Amino acid sequence: MEFVKRNKIFVALASVLLLLIAILTYEFVQPSNTPNTVVAGNDSEKTTSISNFSLKLTSANDLTFHWEINQGVETISKIEIFHDTTLLKDVTSQAVYSTPLFQSGIKTGNNEFNLKVTLGNGKVLEKRLYRYIDEVLNFKEEHRLEGTTLYMETTYYVQKDQKPRTPMVSYTLNQKGVIPFEYVKSETVKVEGDYQQQKDYYTFDLSQVNSGTYVFSLSFNYNEYNLVFKRTVSVDI
């Protein structure tokens, strides 16, 4: 007892420490009564959504649309593709849609397309895409050498109301010398919907050049549309 009287503070602190140890030990060994936590699923896995909407202009001048829809708990009642505010096609039962550009009413320049998905509950999902269609399409060059004259023809598609249609033409040679060049004429070959195929005619006079291989590096410049088509033509004289 004499020790306790002399060390009251020490005894008090030791008692508090023992009490804390006892409480912590009790809490640790007690079984947990916390209920199991249910992790909610990802809401995006439960709701219908549009994951992709794309467009490709094929070499055959077809506009081909692709889309992907993540099916959720909501039902889908209708799927539509719009050009601006004009309905192109109800594609509810399709996974891909193609339409000829020339007969579609779609013009060159900036275009906006919208995929609309109408759900069974009336909600409408939308995904937009923007596509620039060049003013000159399917540019091709052909040539033939007859005697000392090189004949060249280019064909391409433009809108019927589009001007100017013919390009500025420039070229460089792999050899020294000047070869007279002449634009002959331009004509409409055929009309397809809102577009027409143009053909331009050119000649190169090779009568004053020495024998050899001449390589023309040509540029057909549609400056108003910021379009340049480059072609290489090789002829043996």
| Closest listed residue to residue 115, CA positions, set 75, 83, 152, 93 | 83
Final residue of a structural domain among 118, 133, 148:
133
Please give the structure tokens belonging to residue 99: 């339409």
Domain assignment present for residue 156? The answer is: yes
Contacts of 205 (CB under 8 A, 6+ apart): 148, 149, 179, 180, 181, 182
Confidence of residue 25 (pLDDT cuts 50, 70, 90): low
The listed range with the strongest mean pLDDT (11-20, 44-53, 170-179, 212-221) is 212-221
CA–CA separation, 122 and 75 (whole Å) = 10
Domain range for 128 is 45-133
Domain count, the chain: 2
Residue 1 has pLDDT above 80, yes or no: no
Residue 34 has pLDDT above 50, yes or no: no
Residue 225 has pLDDT above 90, yes or no: yes
Cβ burial, residue 1 (10 Å; 0-12/13-18/19+): exposed
CB 179 within 8 A of CB 205: yes
Specify the pLDDT at position 55: 97
Specify the pLDDT at position 26: 53
State the SS3 of 95-127.
CEEEEEHHHCCCCCEEEEEEEEEEECCCCEEEE
Specify the pLDDT at position 13: 58
CA–CA separation, 209 and 216 (whole Å) = 14
Question: Domain containing 180 — which CATH number?
Answer: 2.60.40.1250
Residue 183 has pLDDT above 70, yes or no: yes
pLDDT (tens digit per residue) in 101-156? 999 999 999 999 999 999 999 999 999 999 999 999 999 999 999 999 999 999 99
Q: What is the mean pLDDT of residues 178-190?
A: 95
Final residue of a structural domain among 83, 112, 133:
133
Q: Is the peptide bond before 100 cis (omega within 30 degrees of 0)?
A: no
pLDDT (tens digit per residue) in 144-174? 999 999 999 999 999 998 887 889 999 999 9
How far is CA 159 from each of CA 57, 60, 104, 195, rounded to the nearest angstrom? Answer: 16, 16, 12, 4
Specify the pLDDT at position 40: 42
Final residue of a structural domain among 105, 133, 161:
133
Quick one: DSSP state of residue 223?
G
CA–CA separation, 110 and 95 (whole Å) = 25
Question: Domain containing 49 — which CATH number?
Answer: 2.60.40.10
Specify the pLDDT at position 177: 78
Q: What is the mean pLDDT of residues 51-57?
A: 97
Look at the chain and count its residues.
237
How far is CA 69 from each of CA 112, 140, 182, rounded to the nearest angstrom? Answer: 20, 39, 55
